[in-house]
Structure 1
Amino acid sequence: MKTKLTRILPDLVFAIIIFSSISMGYPLLGKILLTIYFLYLIYKSLPAIYATAGGNAYKKGNKEKALTYFKKAANSKKSKANFISSYGYLLLRDGKVSESEPYLEKAVELDDNLPQIKYSSLLNLSLLRWKQGRIPEAIKIAEDLKPHYLNSVVYEVLGYYYISNGDYEKAKNFNEEALLYDEDDDVIKDNMAQTHYFLSEYEEAEKIYSEIIPNVAFPEAYYYYALIKLEMGELDESKKLLEVALTKKVSFMSNINEDLIKSKLHELNNLSSVKNISEPQNLDDLNNLDILHTQDNLEN
């Protein structure tokens, strides 16, 4: 592992040489060496420059431009683990699972002096394993991280893993712990509500969703709230929530996609049609039909 002194030693030596050249009466040589040094600094900083440009592009919603810049940062010879991991994560979010794997694996293998970067890279690798269907491995990585890298994101991810794996009782206990850690995190609240839904605890789930809807922007909350409303016999409200879910941006990192939402909405629309046909008409309509039937008989 490189120490701080080891990392700055080449720069220090170069600075001493430049200063010595100027002080010994070789100003031209000093200027040449200084120019070379600045070019070297720019070269060494290229990954950070590319990553910064990529981050700005991503914030503006320009995904393709962000990927282009982060690719340059990740593939630079002087690239660091955080740039490589960031590019791998962006590829993963874009659904490019196989392309993201070598970058996320490389980021984890790199020796980095900052443990937080190592832990962040491991969490990204965990997400990759989950999307590859290697759920037990994904869970183990996240569980091993928890004692060293405890934050809301780890609680969000691990809670979602337990739900995806069908460990609903474990998910319930874990998400209760997560809410004690961060009671204002809407993703953790959504995880808790989903857990209640799968355990058929509809009233508890409904209470959580009634608090966070319509403030959340992710479709999962609206989708599961719709399923809960359906279980509670509120068909029309369920359909409305599914329609709202379709207006929200779907993420590759979720189990919920647009086709699933549309399929459920189509199912409920068909259910509404059957219900309308099977319902008896009101008394006034029946009376009107009787009058028309009597008039037809008289005319004949």
Structure 2
Amino acid sequence: MKFFTGFRVRAALIKQQKGDIEGARRSYAELYDNKVLLASYLLPYSLLLIRAGEYEKAKQVLLDAQKAPDLNLERKQQLYVNYGVALWKLGDEEGAIRNLEAAHHKYPSGIVYQTLGYLYIEQGNKEKALSYNEEALEYDHEDPIVLDNMGQTFYRLLNDKERALEYFKKAHKISSTKIDTLYFLAKYDIENGNNKAALEKIEIALAGNFSPLNYATEEKLNHLKAQIKE
């Protein structure tokens, strides 16, 4: 029975890896309904639920995942992040921040720095966003998401587009497909009259895999695209 359960979990994970999101979600749901308690599938299942807007269900799945016997350090970090995102999407901003701050103190990691740094920006906390994202940059100065967070801090909160551009360029050099970075760089291109370059960036961003915490939504990107006159 244990072997069969492991096989079903692996089969579900492979479906997701191959892009069969609906198939993976159905398989995860069957495992969950059958009371299979393994973080190896509960964590990706929770993320699919978050992407689908089922935040309350995701929250419950993550609460159950806390009791999973295969919850190692890396999975604990991911659990904290997913739970924080679910809380944020449910409107519990303070709870999300507290959860991720607790994760930072217990299990500091790149993914925690990325997520908490972004939520401080969304919260509009200038001082906290700047100090925390600077700390995140010391943790990993080549993390494109952290670099983008620094760019957004200067662009959105401190109204310093020149400093922001430095970080967006660095982020783009490391990873050329990050949706938010492409969005902001496209805005610079439009301001500079380089509509062709802006359109290229927007198209790449629109073809990307959107995260629940992307600042640049499809709607924002399409709105920006509409501003470009051929």
TM-score with structure 2 length normalisation? 0.85
The residue aligned with 1:156 is 114
Are 1:96 and 2:70 counterparts? no
Q: Please show how residues 1-300 of structure 1 align to structure 2 within 5 Å.
A: 43-108=1-66, 110=67, 112=69, 114=71, 116=73, 117-198=75-156, 199-213=158-172, 215-229=175-189, 233-237=191-195, 239-240=198-199, 241-266=201-226, 268-269=227-228
| Separation (CA, whole Å) in 1 of partners of 2:160 and 2:188 | 9
Contact 1:197–1:228 (Cα < 8 Å) also in 2: no
Contact 2:77–2:109 (Cα < 8 Å) also in 1: no
TM-score with structure 1 length normalisation? 0.67
Shift of 1:155: 0.5
Q: Equivalent residue of 1:55, what SS?
A: helix
Deviation per residue, 1:199-231 (Å, 9 max, x gap): 12212221222233363323211112233445x
Shift of 1:182: 0.9
Unaligned runs of 5+ in 1: 1-42, 274-300
For residue 47 of structure 1, what is the amino acid of its counterpart? T
Q: Comparing 148-157 with 256-265, which one deviates more in the overlay?
A: 256-265
Mark the CA change 1:203 to 1:81 in structure 2 (over 3 Å): closer, same or farther. same
Contact 1:92–1:128 (Cα < 8 Å) also in 2: yes
| Separation (CA, whole Å) in 1 of partners of 2:143 and 2:179 | 16
| Separation (CA, whole Å) in 2 of partners of 1:194 and 1:59 | 31
Contact 1:186–1:216 (Cα < 8 Å) also in 2: no
Contact 1:73–1:84 (Cα < 8 Å) also in 2: no
Q: Comparing 181-190 with 251-260, which one deviates more in the overlay?
A: 251-260
Shift of 1:114: 4.6
Contact 2:40–2:70 (Cα < 8 Å) also in 1: no
